[in-house]
Homo-oligomer: A and B are copies of this chain.
């Protein structure tokens, strides 16, 4: 019933509110995340409000309603299950699956999606370490601790990577920055805004604060 454009808006808004942990999502972020002009986002959001998928306050931002959240969560589930399928079953590289899933998440029927879920053995996390929402829209809380929040010298387990860009994921893979691996901060250099890290027994390397903040860890 919702068009694929609507599905994209609701998913993006939900993702922003989860990632930035905010209730009211500002218009600018929506426009940026969907790569449309601000005016387009405003007019679309007004339509979404008419359909009761969200509440919009001019110059404040947007909050999803229950039904809007449901659709958004459904899209996240689809996206992550499809990514898992592409890596596990077809053997695509984890750095190249995002765009694929972005398209397929709109095209697969509920029936096929649930078959896929069973075929994959009800996976709980996608290849980037992100939790896959259940059919009913429940999602495990992801770790709120990034590499930046860690003490120097403490061994941490990488939980997930909060960046979808192919180039970043290629870099991450190259450096073994992948879910499950053990990472340690060797030096914390505030002045240069970098941290020096080591993954498993691999050679050490540096990460900028922005990048380090995208590596979520636990333990």
A residues adjacent to B (C-beta < 8 A): 86, 89-92, 96, 99-100, 103-104, 106-109, 111-112, 115-116, 119
Pairwise interchain contact B92-A112, C-beta atoms closer than 8 A:
yes
Closest 7 CB pairs of A and B: A107-B107, A90-B115, A103-B107, A104-B107, A100-B109, A100-B112, A90-B119
Count of chain copies: 2
Pairwise interchain contact B115-A108, C-beta atoms closer than 8 A:
no
Contact of A112 among B86, B108, B111, B119 (CB under 8 A): B86
**B contact residues around A86 at 8 Å (CB):** 112
**B contact residues around A108 at 8 Å (CB):** 100, 103-104
Distance between A5 CB and nearest chain B CB, rounded to angstroms:
14
Contact of A89 among B100, B107, B119 (CB under 8 A): B119
Pairwise interchain contact B104-A92, C-beta atoms closer than 8 A:
no
- In the complex the two chains form, what is the Cα distance from A99 to B107 in whole Å? 11
Distance between A23 CB and nearest chain B CB, rounded to angstroms:
33
**B contact residues around A103 at 8 Å (CB):** 107-109
